[in-house]
Structure 1
């Protein structure tokens, strides 16, 4: 009679066993998919941030080259602000994505960029600089 009971126990407990196996398989599948999506999102966000920071650096270098031969007081103030922007970009921990200061430093860089743009009468939206006629960016 114990073989007969084991057969029915196996049938009755099959639902519970399959539910447990399904949960485990689903959990592992979701975990690996979440990691892949997280990496993809992080790489995309990091690429955008890197593009933005690189733009600010190039912007500062270009304007510094354009203004370096001017000796008037206004140009000296602009050059000082550009130097400060370059220093902020170069000293920010953008190489370390887990840095606690990264977000704060990026906000400082953006604020200094807006200030420099105001001094130069240039558009302040970073995205205005990377648009092309085809609607794609580099």
Structure 2
């Protein structure tokens, strides 16, 4: 067998095959992992976005309903409750809920939840959002 450039190229290609296959495998695995990560991220975001949307919609409906029920009351307690409900509704309107990238979103949701608990305490109703969701699961339209 001759020891010319062809033999060296063949020898180099055999030695470098492991490195080449490892590099190819890494790139292929990285691409698949990145695609799968994007898909899982989208699913995760959609799920949590839907939960947050249901929670905010509930607070809004809760606030508007109780405000309608109490707004004609003339006693000081009713007026105080209406002001608290208006404050909750104002927080909901001012929050950047349409921008999931907002840095204020978590802070605003914490404020909204705290105000909701305060209003529930004033109205003497359960403040656990999950309790309200459980009672509506059996409802169909």
Q: Could you say which TM-score interval applies, normalised by the shorter chain?
A: over 0.9
Q: 1:35 to 1:125 in 2, by over 3 A?
A: same
- Within 1, Cα distance between the matches of 2:90 and 2:136? 33
Q: Which runs of 5+ in 2 are unaligned?
A: none
Q: Which residue pairs with 1:99 in the alignment? A: 102
Q: How many residue pairs align between the two structures?
A: 138
- Within 1, Cα distance between the matches of 2:70 and 2:139? 30
Q: Which runs of 5+ in 1 are unaligned?
A: none
- Within 2, Cα distance between the matches of 1:135 and 1:70? 33
Q: Which residue pairs with 1:22 in the alignment? A: 25
Q: How does 1:91-130 map to 2 (within 5 A)?
A: 91-130=94-133
Q: Give the TM-score, by structure 2 length.
A: 0.91
Superposed CA RMSD? 1.9
Q: 1:8 to 1:32 in 2, by over 3 A?
A: same
Q: 1:47 to 1:134 in 2, by over 3 A?
A: closer
